[in-house]
Amino acid sequence: VLPQACDVRLFIDPEKLVEAIREAPPDLLGFANYSWNRNINTQITAFAKSVEPQIITVMGGPCFARGDQEWMDGFFERNQNLDFYLAGPGEIAFAEMVRLSLEAEDSRQEAIRSGAFPGLFFKDGDTVLEGECVVPSLIERRKTLDEIPSPYLLGLFDEFFTYENLGPMIETVRGCPYACTFCCWGSRMLGKVSMFSLDRVKAELDYVAERAVN
């Protein structure tokens, strides 16, 4: 639970996001990071900082080699305008990061650094560090993922169903017991599998099928 209400907006179209940043710079700008949109993320973080240097930028997602220090240092070096990277399941962790920002008495970025927890990475000088603060709600492993609200069933993605060149994707599990080196899930830290219930997945499929043009 966050200490105060937050105004959250979601974007798929990079041009619409750029325009929104230009019109009303956000306090915190988050990106889902994958190999296919990484260059776009890098460009938009640079644009956001040029509009308002105080914007906190954060990327998140499994496409991050959190066990490879040299790779991480290089990643942040290539993304000079990135403040934080959130690796691992993001729902509760991102909310914790927002809470740290909202409760900051002075510098929001420094407050997040001081309260950084495992899975939250940031650059300190020439190296990338991982947070160490213990957050009980982030330690517990969730075998059943249904407690995470569905953005589909909440209607948060309805506006994106009109894009004829995009197809909705549904997540059924997280983690993978295999260690394929070509895959971002191929990590021993992601080896345990958690799943959404079949009822949840079916409900999402029905919801999308009734509304999406593609």
- Cα separation, 51 vs 213, in Å, equals 35
What residues pair up with 120 in beta bridges, in sequence order? 86
Average pLDDT, the chain: 91
**pLDDT top residue among 43 and 165:** 43
How far from the centroid of its chain's Cα atoms is residue 77's Cα? 19
What residues pair up with 84 in beta bridges, in sequence order? 58, 122
Let me know: does 153 contact 172? Beta carbons within 8 Å.
Answer: no
The model carries a pTM of 0.90
- Cα separation, 194 vs 180, in Å, equals 18
Let me know: does 101 contact 84? Beta carbons within 8 Å.
Answer: no
With CA atoms as reference, report the closest residue to 133 among 97, 103, 160, 157: 97
pLDDT of 162 higher than 70: yes
pLDDT of 1 higher than 90: no
With CA atoms as reference, report the closest residue to 174 among 153, 148, 209: 148
pLDDT value of position 142? 66
pLDDT value of position 175? 84
Q: pLDDT tens digits, residue range 48-91?
A: 999 999 999 999 988 898 889 999 999 999 999 999 999 988 88
Query: Which of 1-5, 87-91, 173-177 is predicted with the least confidence, judged by mean pLDDT?
Result: 1-5
